[in-house]
Amino acid sequence: MNGSTVSLVGRVMYCLPLVIFGFGHFGNASAMAPMVPLPGGVIWIYVTGIALLAAALSIIINKMTKLSGLLLGVMLIAFALGVHLQGMMGAEDEMAKMNFFGNMVKDLGLAGAAFYISGKNWGS
């Protein structure tokens, strides 16, 4: 495989969870809304679902990746700290705490990769 093929496979693999999570925001909006620490809960679920899908498309087609990677990274850090860390701190049982912790670490990892993608494409 040449470098451009490997890069495309990597971008698709990175974006697959973003697409799944993006569509999940539409399928589970009412269940997710209580976790949103802002007024208008369900609206934010739809907005972030659209943002996840838009970022995934941008990264897969390799267009506007500097901006989309930067915005995606910021949004994922907001999820990690504003939703998952808050949920972990407020959770009553250990399984719920572990679930929030896992999601927080996942979002931080995805944010780091988004920033890397943004930085690698700073000139484009």
pLDDT for 75-115, tens place per residue?
A: 999 999 999 999 999 999 999 999 999 999 999 999 999 99
pTM > 0.75: yes or no: yes
Query: 86 vs 3, 48, 73, CA distance in Å?
Result: 41, 18, 19
Q: 21 is in which domain, residue-wise?
A: 3-120
Q: pLDDT per residue over 1-44, tens digit each?
A: 788 899 899 999 999 999 999 999 999 999 999 988 889 989 99
Q: How far apart, in whole angstroms, are the C-alpha atoms of residue 34 and residue 66?
A: 32
| Domains held by the chain: number | 1
Q: Half-sphere exposure of residue 91, counting CA atoms within 13 Å on the CB side?
A: 16
Six-digit token string for 80:
């990690």
Six-digit token string for 98:
């572990």
| The pLDDT of residue 2 | 84
